[in-house]
Amino acid sequence: MFASKLKMMTKRILTFLLIFLTTTITAQELTLRAGLRITQSQKIKKGIYLLDAPADTSHSLILIEGNNLIIDFNQAELKGSNGKMPDAFFGVALLIRNSKHVTIRNLKANGYKVALLARNVEQLTLENCDFSYNYRQHLNSTQEKEDISDWMSYHHNEKDEWLRYGAAMYLRNCDQAVIRHCRVTGGQNALMMTESDHGKIYNNDFSFNSGIGIGIYRSSANEFSYNRLNFNVRGYSYGVYNRGQDSAGFLVYEQSHYNIFYKNSATHSGDGFFLWAGQTTMDTGEGGCNDNVIHENDFSYAPTNGVEVTFSRVAVSGNLIYECDHGIWGGYSFNSKFINNQFRDNRIAIAIEHGVHNEISYNTFSKDKEAIRLWSRKNQPSDWGYARFRDTRSADYIIAGNSFNHHPLGLNISGTDSLRLADNSWAGEQKWKIDSTVTHIDTRSVEREDSVMSLPLIEKPNNPFEGSKDFAGRKNILITEWGPYDFRSPIIWNTNATDTSGLMQFDILGPAGQWKIRKYYGVEGVSAVNGEVPAKITARKLNGERTDILIELEYTGQEVHTPFGEIVKAGKPYRFQFRRFFQPIRWEVNWFTYDSLTNPVRFPERLVRLDQQKPVKSEIADKLDYAWWGGIRVGEKQFPQFITLASGQANIPDGEYELSVTWDDAVRVYLDGKIILDEWEPSRYIFDESPNRKVKLHLSGNHIFKVEHVELNGFATLALKLRKLD
């Protein structure tokens, strides 16, 4: 009896100790530190951790390795690269590698080149994380003029080439990943995935970034649903230029198959959806980004293409595509279906060159300048392997059951064979242009086939389209020097940037509140000095040798989220400004041709002999801002290889300045006889982008500038800008 009671008492004591020890261990929250390695499930002590990561992205601030781990960061916030601007952010905050069944929850990380990097992780789950305000480039384009250096290139990623642009999340070889309820804003790229299959990415908000919302490379059989990917954009100035510069809501590249994109909102992005088969297909003709399903998304208000799908077999159905340059650009699409989409106010709703065996049916087209354009060219580029191995005709189309409403031109078709054109309806005049190069037109009715597709099933899906009407129209894309304006802070925006009359017009936008002008110079006749947001004001530019305008305002009102992620509490004053500076430099510009024997990159000493040679072209200019495609043209001649020599003089007010130079292929810049930028080795720049370098200078009084520039072949650019640092 006693032994039995003793045994029971011992058991109770052991149970109590086990519960006590378990509770004690659970309560011991882990404090983050540089170099920390986590190999077991943990709860992190909540707080703000000011921790820089190693500059080398092969290392990280924190490393996680192991199987069956749950790491709850408890809203802890990692802040790196402290004191630097976003284009100087560096390092990887969190690296997860060689693991299985890892869950990361409730983490905030900002100020890094990459917030979270995962390699070789099976069944990774990321939930309720905020990776906003990490790396992004300082854009060189302005409202008045595009700068070519802002173009991005995503053609190759076999060696993680995409990492040069940074990312909030970067996954490589991470099958069956689940990413949900995460947020990324104020960065460049949100989620980038390479060689990662069978993932489920849903209920995320990756909006207002300057590059890519979600990008995939050699990644297949993933589901992307109910995500908000709005305003992932650069390279746009309303009414001036619409380039996009390879920004996109979705980027789908290089042999990425069988993915489903369902009920996502990707509006106001460079391309809403950008799919390209990849270099493998271009070289060999094999593969593509095939059998991707793009269903019931909103891709409206893209500066370039709502949907771009090229060299691939896809299904694009049930999507909204309003007010884009091209609604769908489907070059070289084959066996693809474009069905039940709604198009409105696009320049061209569907444009397909060299497409074969495609169907365009049961779509609604309204007030597009052109509804459908199909065509082919006589010759294919000689350096495309694709054209040697694939059928590149424009042929065998079904265009049936569509509704065309009030188009200046409904169908514009040329160079196309075997066109089935039936059962379409027209509101307004039936207008088309189908010339003699279109052969074998069949007008027999087409029997409709209803297809069945397997769509993602998500418990408690978000509504990514909620509130989308508030920002309808491309006019709401305002690109600042750090990316798209997000309407969460006040801004003064010049609405007629290219107007030469001298009368400047401004919108004051942002949260509701009061504004007042604190100071200004370079303008006169300001129409109002205070008021409520939103507002419109005007001012007249002062005439003078240079443009030097500052309008500084103060806002008081609602809570402000600044472009750099800082929060200004409601009622606290917040300063913002409009700044424009242009220092004319009197340039004498001469262009010379050369051959392989006098290549100035290989033989720079031969530049000194150019004074004995007559230039093929000369001009006087007040700025250097050039871009050439295929060489410099002089009359009827085009010279693919050329040299630019420019000498300039300017009288500059005393102050601190930044000289920004964009070039392709080689450049040197001299100031008062001393070299200040030497980029004479094109081999250092292996990617497609045109490089840009910035040099900080103290200038005062009269200065002499000299520029030497060489173009080897192909695309060329030379742009030099001087910015005053206040």
Res 604: pLDDT: 84
> Is the residue at 261 inside a domain?
yes
Mean pLDDT, the chain, integer:
94
Is 272 in contact with 306 (CB distance < 8 Å)? yes
- Total domains present in the chain: 3
Any domain includes 574? yes
Where among 580, 610, 645 does a domain terminate? 580
For residue 464, tell me if it sits in a domain: no
Q: Is residue 264 in a domain?
A: yes
Arithmetic mean of pLDDT, 95-114: 98
The CATH number of residue 265's host domain is 2.160.20.10
pLDDT of residue 4: 52
- Let me know whether 541 and 658 are in one domain: no
Same domain, 278 and 404: yes
- At 503-513, the pLDDT tens digits run 999 999 999 99
* pLDDT over 70 percentage in the chain: 96
* pLDDT per position as a tens digit, 277-332: 999 999 999 999 999 999 999 999 999 999 999 999 999 999 999 999 999 999 99
Distances (CA, A) of 67 to 64, 99, 117, 126, 436: 10, 5, 17, 15, 66
**Does 563 share its domain with 618?**
no
Domain co-membership, 434 together with 375: yes
What average pLDDT does range 404-425 have in this prediction?
Answer: 96
Q: Token pair for residue 238?
A: 């309303």
| Model confidence at 7: pLDDT above 80 | no
pTM of the complete model:
0.94
What is the domain range of residue 502? Answer: 485-580
Regarding whether 491 and 628 lie in a shared domain, the answer is no
Residue 570 sits in the same domain as residue 609? no
Q: Which amino acid is at 719?
A: A
501 and 650 share one domain: no
What is the distance between the alpha carbons of residues 330 and 334, in angstroms, rounded to a whole number? 9
Region 54-76: mean pLDDT is: 97
**Contact in structure between 514 and 530 (CB atoms under 8 Å):** yes
Write down the pLDDT at residue 27. 56
For 233-281, write each residue's pLDDT tens digit: 999 999 999 999 999 999 999 999 999 999 999 999 999 999 999 999 9
Mean pLDDT within 326-344? 97
Cα distance between residue 663 and residue 607, in whole Å: 18
CB 658 within 8 A of CB 722: yes
Q: What is the mean pLDDT of residues 144-168?
A: 96
Q: Write down which residue in 524, 548, 580 finishes a domain.
A: 580
For residue 632, what is the domain's CATH number?
2.60.120.260
Cis check for the bond before 417: say yes or no (omega within 30 of 0). no
* pLDDT classification of 712: cutoffs 50, 70, 90: very high
14-32 pLDDT tens trace: 444 434 433 444 458 999 9
Q: Is the pLDDT of residue 8 over 60?
A: no
392 falls within a domain: yes
pLDDT tens digits for range 194-243: 999 999 999 999 999 999 999 999 999 999 999 999 999 999 999 999 99
The answer to whether residue 206 is domain-embedded is yes
- Percentage of the chain beyond pLDDT 90 is 87
Tell whether 529 and 675 lie within a shared domain: no
Q: 483 — alpha (psi -120 to 50), left (phi > 0) or beta?
A: left
Greater model confidence, 167 or 726: 167
Q: 263 and 329, same structural domain?
A: yes
Instruction: Please say which residue of 527, 552, 580 terminates a domain.
Output: 580
Are 420 and 307 in the same domain?
yes
Which pLDDT belongs to residue 12?
A: 55
Gap between the Cα atoms of 192 and 172, Å rounded: 9
655 and 552 inside one domain: no
pLDDT in tens, 681-696: 998 998 889 999 999 9
Is the pLDDT score of 115 beyond 50? yes
Q: Classify residue 95: in a domain, yes or no.
A: no
- Asked whether residue 215 is assigned to any structural domain, the reply reads yes
Ordered DSSP codes for 209-266: BSSEEEEEES--S-EEES-B---B--SEETTTEE--TT-EEEEEESS--S-EEES-B-
Shared domain check, 391 and 275 = yes
